[in-house]
Structure 1
Amino acid sequence: MPDSTVTLAGNITRDPELRFTPSGQGVSTFGLAVNRRWQNRQTNDWEEATSFFDVTCWGQLAENVAESITKGARVVVAGRLEQRSWENEEGERRSKVQVVAYEVGPSLRWATAEVTKNERRSGIDDGRQTFSKRPSAPVYADEEPF
């Protein structure tokens, strides 16, 4: 069965928290508020609803997110939905759906951004293989590399 893939645009509700697993892999979490606004056709009043999501990032993405975004920033998140369940101290069963991000980037709808490219690391990251070097393209003295 394929993943439940979602793309969300919203505002960061809390600064990303970066931690590391015992093996050294980065994991960051942050909150995302997604607003929906519509006009009620019967009253002509504008109505609004806000949904809140917990977002988890792994590996290099986690480190880049923790370094790049802060509370209040508007971002676009692409990832998969994942449900986790647990039992609280009173013995009640709890569950929640979170987003495990594949990509996080600034929303350019009402802002501009400056991108700084990081060096690629070799190895496995987020279950996808990365390579230590891209095939090189010619670089001209008066041209940016990307």
Structure 2
Amino acid sequence: MSTHFMGEGNIGSDPEVKMLSPNGNQPPRGLLRLNVRFDNPVPTENGNVDKGGFWANVEIWHRDVEQWARLYQRGMRIMVSGRMVLDEWKDSEGNGRSQFKVQAVRIGILPFRVAQVVFESAQGQHTPRQPPSQQGAYSKSAGPDGEWDNPVSTNAGGLG
């Protein structure tokens, strides 16, 4: 059983990462698990009032989760999109247990409680942010590999 889920909440503990060894020619896969408290804000005349949210484990699978785990910190505000699934298992005494968890497709960091963001290259060196290009909205460097061409030339229609 599963259903689409989108929610906003705070990370309650440090991220957990598990890397799984590849089978055959497949690249390694990783699991990032976060414990998140999702809010249930109810609008009132005096603003929003939290009417009892809930805690849920959030899991996302990807090969880069070890790097992502460095981004997420306890207390950080995030937006999660994915599906809610019922996880069922037997405990050590053989009793049936169940719990809802979120299998995330996306986890976005919201700007609340973030003190600083520093971008680093893959080699760990600081990469200063470049000013926007003067060539237009879609300059050659706009794509991840520079594959987008500028649809408007700098001299379009005899202007400039």
In 2, distance between residues paired with 1:9 and 1:112? 19
Query: Which SS does the other structure have where 2:80 is aligned?
Result: strand
Question: In 2 relative to 1, CA 64–78 (structure 1 residues): closer, same or farther, beyond 3 Å?
Answer: farther
Partner residue, 2:147: 136
Q: Gaps spanning 5+ residues in structure 1: where?
A: 120-132, 140-146
In 2, distance between residues paired with 1:118 and 1:27? 23
Matched to 1:136, the amino acid is E
Q: Gaps spanning 5+ residues in structure 2: where?
A: 23-27, 123-143, 151-160
| Residues 39 and 50 in structure 2, CA contact (< 8 A), matched pair in contact too | no
Partner residue, 1:33: 37
Query: Which SS does the other structure have where 1:15 is aligned?
Result: coil
Partner residue, 2:13: 14
| Residues 84 and 101 in structure 2, CA contact (< 8 A), matched pair in contact too | yes
Question: In 2 relative to 1, CA 81–118 (structure 1 residues): closer, same or farther, beyond 3 Å?
Answer: farther
| Residues 76 and 113 in structure 2, CA contact (< 8 A), matched pair in contact too | no
| Greater Rg by CA | 2
Structure with greater proportional strand content: 1
Equivalent residue in structure 2 for 1:49, among 49, 52, 61: 52
In 1, distance between residues paired with 2:50 and 2:78? 23
Determine if the alignment matches structure 1 residue 67 to structure 2 residue 73: no
The structural deviation recorded for 1:86 is: 1.0
Partner residue, 1:130: none
| Number of residue pairs matched by the alignment | 121
TM-score (norm 2): 0.61
| Residues 35 and 49 in structure 1, CA contact (< 8 A), matched pair in contact too | yes
Matched to 1:32, the amino acid is V
Identity %: 21
Query: Which SS does the other structure have where 1:68 is aligned?
Result: coil
Task: Say what the alpha-carbon RMSD is for the aligned residues.
Answer: 3.2
Question: In 2 relative to 1, CA 112–71 (structure 1 residues): closer, same or farther, beyond 3 Å?
Answer: closer
Poorly superposed stretches of 4+, deviation over 3 Å: 37-41, 108-119
| Residues 106 and 113 in structure 1, CA contact (< 8 A), matched pair in contact too | no
The structural deviation recorded for 1:85 is: 1.1
In 1, distance between residues paired with 2:120 and 2:83? 25
